[in-house]
Amino acid sequence: MARKRPLGTEEGRAYWTMVLPAFVIYMVVMAFPILLSIVLSVSNYNGGKMFGGEQWTVIGFQPYARLGIDPAFWMALRNNLFIVFISVFGQIPLGFILAYLISRRLVKFPDFWQTVIYIPNIISVVVVGILWQTIFSPYGPLSEIFNKLYQANFHSHLAAIFQSFGQFDIKNVPDSLAQKIVNLAGPTAASNFSNPVADLKDLMQSYDANQSGMLVNDLTNLLAPKWSMDFLNHRETAMLPVLFVILWMYTGLYLIMFLANLEKIDVQIIEAARIDGASEGQVMRHIILPSLSGVIVNLAILAISGSLNSFALIYAMTGGGPARITEVLSIYMYDKAFMNGAFDYPLANAVAMVMVVISFILIGITKAFEKKFGGKE
């Protein structure tokens, strides 16, 4: 700090000229919206001119009460907490493990791994969201891969069944053979035939005895189980792809941050401890983890505030659908304000306030945790 000087006007003028532009912009972009949000969240404003238009007044906490009884809000909150959870307990440990392997030189070419695994972070989340939407779609590559695996599997089982029956009259297939095929197919047989065993026998009659290879292929195409994307429609599992993509995208970020801090630890201390007979686990517990405790807390805060506010990735990937089961708070808020002519600004602003408060609470918990358990260097 500069030593205190008598308050010359030149100094004061210079100070305020340098500080005010940043401060005014900051007030306009952050402080005013927060105040506006607080006021609107307890009002009955529903669009239109804010001043001089239709009258609106402060009505109290009724918007918050409406939030509390909306099941969609609780669904969004639950999904958001899943994301917070996977960020704190997924990305951070994974990022640490990868950074550890690199920093201890267990793998060569440290720059290469670091560069590759960080790539998803520099791509627009919109690109990432749409890309994975297509990958997980029923018309995407994932279902093709699974269907091919299912088909190959089905084909070999079917061939084995035919093999075990040796020679048989294709114009009069034994019931036990047809039954075995129906059993193998399971649900696809029931959906293709009304009377599976008889229908299958009829179908097989249309082939000649020397066409058994073709028959096996055709039956495979017809009866092999299809990869089902059903889990995307269930509220228990619909978030799994989103959580996976979040892990895919951001693990590299934590890798980079852990690596930067691991490289700061003096290698000689670790080596000396090892020579003195400390095991790798002891080195981890007594040297590496204590020196990272502050970093871990900072990264947890970063993960929490980042994941509470995640919007664009889910907006691009699922749009909150199907049937709003992948909505998070920010998307719920967006829908309430902008979609279907809702213009429910009080409710939307109440959500914004809830998000701000939750992130402060979680960050507070993290800091308290640090005070209690951290800093024992």
Partner 1 sequence: MTEEKVYTSHLGQIGDFLIKFFSYVIMTVFALLTIYPLIWLMINSLKPTPEFQISKLSFPASPTFANYTGAWKIGDFDKLIGNSLIYTIGTTIGVIFLSVLAGFAFAKIKRKATKPLYASFIIGLTLTTQSLMIPLFLEANLLHIYNTRFAVLLIYIGSGLPMGLYLCTEFIKSVPDSLVESSRIDGAGYFRIFLSIILPMTVPVITVLAILNITATWNEFALINILVSKTELKSLPLGINKFSGTLSSDYGKQFAALTVGMLPMLVFYLIFRKQITKGVAAGAVKG
Of the pair 65, 123, the CB lying nearest partner 1 is at 123
- Does residue number 40 form part of the binding site for partner 1 (CB under 8 A)? yes
Residue partners of 335: CB distance under 8 A and separation at least 6: 320, 324, 327, 342
Tokens of 117: 């695994």
Cα 151 off chain centre by: 30
- Our CB check for partner 1 shows the closer of 67 and 308 to be 308
**Neighbour count for residue 344 (Cβ, 10 Å):** 22
CB of 361: closest distance to partner 1 in angstroms?
Answer: 12
Residue 104 or 157: which CB sits closer to partner 1? 104
Q: N- to C-terminal Cα distance for the chain?
A: 29
Half-sphere exposure of 216 (CA within 13 A, CB side): 16
Strand locations in 154-299 (E): none
By CB under 8 A, name the one of 149, 267, 289, 368 that touches partner 1: 267
184: left (phi over 0), alpha (psi -120 to 50) or beta: alpha
CA-CA-CA-CA dihedral for 278, 281, 286, 292, to nearest 10: 140
Please identify, using beta-carbon distances, which residue of 28 and 160 lies nearer to partner 1.
Answer: 28
Comparison of 51 and 376: residue with beta carbon closer to partner 1: 51
Nearest partner of 318 among 309, 330, 327, 310, judged by Cα? 327
- Within 115-134, the residues that bind partner 1 by CB under 8 A are 115-127, 129-134
Our CB check for partner 1 shows the closer of 137 and 228 to be: 137
Instruction: Examine residue 97 and tell whether it contacts partner 1 (CB under 8 A).
Output: yes
Tokens of 306: 């980042």
Q: Among 197, 204, 219, 257, indicate the residue that binds partner 1 (CB under 8 A).
A: 257
Subset of 2-31 contacting partner 1 (CB under 8 A): 2-5, 10-12, 14-15, 18-19, 21-23, 25-26, 28-31
Identify which range of 65-73, 150-158, 217-225, 260-268 contacts partner 1 by CB under 8 A. 260-268
Q: Out of 76, 84, 215, 348, point to the residue binding partner 1 (CB under 8 A).
A: 348
Are 19 and 35 in contact by the 8 Å Cβ rule? The answer is no
Residue 43, SS3 per DSSP:
strand
Q: Which is nearer to partner 1, 104 or 235 (CB)?
A: 104
Our CB check for partner 1 shows the closer of 180 and 336 to be: 336
How many residues in the shown chain lie near partner 1 by CB under 8 A?
A: 108
- What residues numbered 200-239 form the site for partner 1, per CB under 8 A? none
The torsion region of residue 2 among left (phi > 0), alpha (psi -120 to 50) and beta comes to beta
- Considering only residues 268-327, where is the footprint of partner 1 by CB under 8 A? 271, 274-275, 280, 295, 297-299, 301-302, 305-306, 308-309, 311-312, 315-316, 319
Binding partner 1 (rule: CB under 8 A), the pick from 107, 198, 269, 361 is 107
Token digits of residue 284: 């981890």
Q: Does 365 bind partner 1 (CB under 8 A)?
A: no
Crossing angle (nearest 10°) for helices 289-308 and 239-262: 140
* Closest CB 68 distance from partner 1, rounded Å: 19
Residue (50 or 65) nearer to partner 1, CB? 50
Query: Of residues 6, 139, 167, 377, which one binds partner 1 by CB under 8 A?
Result: 139
Q: H/E element holding 336? A: helix 329-338
Q: How far is the CB of 145 from partner 1 (least distance, A)?
A: 7
> Binding pattern to partner 1, positions 52-91, x when CB under 8 A?
----------------------------------------
SS3 for 98-149, per residue?
HHHHHHCCCCCCHHHHHHHHHHHHHCCHHHHHHHHHHHHCCCCHHHHHHHHH
